[in-house]
């Protein structure tokens, strides 16, 4: 599945100038990468030569590489100057031009600030991570593929790079106009690591205030909570148990507890007041992806205090971070507690159809 957008680029590598010789480029702004020795005066000679050619340098970034540096320049070329002429002039100053591509003056921002802004967009929209990575790397395209198909050994001379994406996926970045350098790869990996940390922190504890002023902690369930969750079920009325499990059970068998706390591929979310678990929510992804089933159990004495709303809102956030776009819940006829909680949480929840409530995650 291709989640990136392609860039219009023209690659120039010395010795390969199939469409550049004698070509007068009218592009307003160019981005070029030149490799040179890291010695005093080298960059000065290059900038003087560019000035002689009538080029106006708009931006400069120096990237260390083994044996020297790669300088990325964004410039406005003189009218009539061709890319081939520019490459030839740089070579005369000992600078090896790795590539030239079209640029946009809107790209003239501090790389660190741009990367942080990109992370913010990816946090808001996890599905946009491939497009954000493409921007950070100035890549032609970034594609999300199954991890088994990524083949990270294939680098294509530095023009291809693979980044892990979750347990089963990988992001493959490609760029024709210039090879990726280690500084860019490190920056992109740091961005992806930060996204992982943000999503991991999202599943950490959160404090909510009930309508009566009581403070309750929402946190993931773990096997050590088995006794507290068993006690929660024991305190619930038959009516509350029936609305959760749709069968006439007075409590739950202890063999169910591990599955309630650690559902397959999913998670549980507990509402804890003091040492007692007073509510339990579950998020279980569907096998087809994109949708996850939710369920709620709130102790009778804690109902109508906003706990259900807090749980469904938090589960929606966790679902969005996992890439889901919809929550579903099985409802009995006339049962609308989950729908009311979803609406109060600001989610869109139309009336159930065939006993299934569908909740859109914004």
Q: Determine the pLDDT at residue 55.
A: 92
Residue 25 has pLDDT above 60, yes or no: no
Q: Are strands 68-76 and 356-360 parallel, antiparallel or unpaired?
A: unpaired
pLDDT tens for 316-336 read: 988 887 888 899 999 888 888
Mean pLDDT across 30-53: 87
pLDDT tens for 148-161 read: 899 999 999 989 99
User: Considering the chain, what is the average pLDDT of its residues?
Assistant: 84
Given a contact cutoff of 8 angstroms between Cβ atoms, the answer to whether 180 and 159 are in contact is yes
CA distance 277 to 245: 18
CA distance 211 to 322: 30
Q: Determine the pLDDT at residue 200.
A: 67
Mean pLDDT across 334-354: 90
In which region does residue 56 sit, left (phi positive, over 0), alpha (psi from -120 to 50) or beta (all else)? beta
Torsion angle, CA of 105/107/109/110, rounded to 10 degrees? -140
CA distances for 89 relative to 81, 84, 86, 177, 232, angstroms: 11, 9, 5, 19, 77
Q: Determine the pLDDT at residue 8.
A: 35
pLDDT tens for 150-189 read: 999 999 998 999 999 876 789 999 999 889 988 889 889 9
CB count in 10 Å sphere of residue 309: 20
CA distance 346 to 343: 5
In which region does residue 201 sit, left (phi positive, over 0), alpha (psi from -120 to 50) or beta (all else)? alpha
Residue 22 has pLDDT above 70, yes or no: no
């Amino acid at each position: 599945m291709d989640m990136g957008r392609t860039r219009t680029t023209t690659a120039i590598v010395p010795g390969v100038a199939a469409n550049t010789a004698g070509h007068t480029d009218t592009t307003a702004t160019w981005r070029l990468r030149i490799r040179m020795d890291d010695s005093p005066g080298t960059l000065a000679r290059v900038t003087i030569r560019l000035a002689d050619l009538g080029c106006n340098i708009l931006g400069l970034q120096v990237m260390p590489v083994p044996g020297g540096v790669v300088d990325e320049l964004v410039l406005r070329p003189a009218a009539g100057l061709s890319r081939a002429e520019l490459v030839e002039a740089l070579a005369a100053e000992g600078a090896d031009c790795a590539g030239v591509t079209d640029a946009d003056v809107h790209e003239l921002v501090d790389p660190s600030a741009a990367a942080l802004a990109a992370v913010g967009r990816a946090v808001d929209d996890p599905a946009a991570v491939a497009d954000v990575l493409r921007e950070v790397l100035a890549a032609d395209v970034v594609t999300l593929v199954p991890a088994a198909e990524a083949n990270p050994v294939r680098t294509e001379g530095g023009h291809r790079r693979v980044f892990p994406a979750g347990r089963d996926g990988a992001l493959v970045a490609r760029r024709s106009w210039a090879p990726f350098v280690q500084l860019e790869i490190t920056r992109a990996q740091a961005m992806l690591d930060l996204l992982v940390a943000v999503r991991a922190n999202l599943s950490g504890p959160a404090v909510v205030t009930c309508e009566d002023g009581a403070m309750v902690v929402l946190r993931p369930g773990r096997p050590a909570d088995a006794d507290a969750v068993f006690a929660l079920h024991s305190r619930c009325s038959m009516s509350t148990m029936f609305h959760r499990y749709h069968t006439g059970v007075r409590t739950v068998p202890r063999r169910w507890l591990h599955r309630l706390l650690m559902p397959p591929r999913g998670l549980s979310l507990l509402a804890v007041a003091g040492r007692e678990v007073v509510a339990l929510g579950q998020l279980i992804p569907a096998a087809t992806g994109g949708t996850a089933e939710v369920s709620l159990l709130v102790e009778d004495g804690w109902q109508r205090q906003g706990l259900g709303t807090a749980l469904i809102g938090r589960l929606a956030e966790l679902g969005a971070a996992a890439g889901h776009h919809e929550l579903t819940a099985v409802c009995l006829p006339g049962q609308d507690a989950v729908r009311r909680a979803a609406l109060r949480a600001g989610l869109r929840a139309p009336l159930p159809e065939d006993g299934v409530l569908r909740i859109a995650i914004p």
